[in-house]
Amino acid sequence: MAPKILVIPGSLRTGSHNARLAALAVKELALVEAEVTRISLADYPLPLYDADLEARSGVPHNAVLLKRMLAAHQGVFIATPEYNASVPSLVKNTIDWISRVRERHEAPLAMFKHRVFALGAASPGGFGGMRSLLALRQVLEIGCGALVIPEQIAIARADQAFDDMDNLKNGHLAATLKAVVRALLDAAQQMA
């Protein structure tokens, strides 16, 4: 059975480079016959994490829905922007809320430990979001106990990196994305 892969762009911006990267990852995943779902975090609005709010009202329903969405897939690809040399609050806040969801007496963070993550970043800057990739890897691996594959993609000068068909102009980067997708699929297969 083909592994199920969830693709999440970490930006809500119209014309987002990371949404473009996510769309291209979906295309590449479909080519290697993964079963792919792409979501937008705009469909799961969440308040800023606040422990008092959680104590009063519990974890927001959208965090529960997102956690279940992740749980229904063996692999997850996150395309993250870089803000101030780190992961944007949208991505971090989403992970923070999801990490608070407990269902059916699950062990803390159980969902993160039973699936595999791959990361990508796109930035108009020269580092290609590399520092955001490192920060997000730390959050997922060390904070949440997730398996994050070593293969990743950082797209520098993202405003000039895509052609009219939304493919990567640079052959090396295009090959890197294919390698990331292949490695994610292989690792997710082990989880299926």
The contact set with ligand FMN (CB under 6 A) reads 11, 13, 16-18, 81-85, 123-125, 127, 129
Contact 161, 170 (CB under 8 A): yes
Quick one: three-class SS letters along 74-118?
A: CEEEEEECCECCECCHHHHHHHHHHCCCCCCCCCCCHHHHCCEEE
Q: Which is nearer to ligand FMN, 154 or 180 (CB)?
A: 154
Please name the amino acid found at residue 98.
I
Q: Which is nearer to ligand FMN, 71 or 177 (CB)?
A: 177
What is the rounded (10 degree) CA torsion for 45, 51, 52, 55? 90
Q: Which is nearer to ligand FMN, 36 or 156 (CB)?
A: 156
Q: How far is the CB of 136 from ligand FMN (least distance, A)?
A: 13
Residue nearest to ligand FMN as judged by C-beta position: 125
Q: How far is the CB of 74 from ligand FMN (least distance, A)?
A: 25
CA distances from 39 to 35, 133, 143, 164 (A): 13, 20, 23, 23
Q: How far is the CB of 126 from ligand FMN (least distance, A)?
A: 8
What's phi and psi for 128, nearest 5 deg? 65, 25
Q: How far is the CB of 123 from ligand FMN (least distance, A)?
A: 3
Q: Which is nearer to ligand FMN, 94 or 123 (CB)?
A: 123
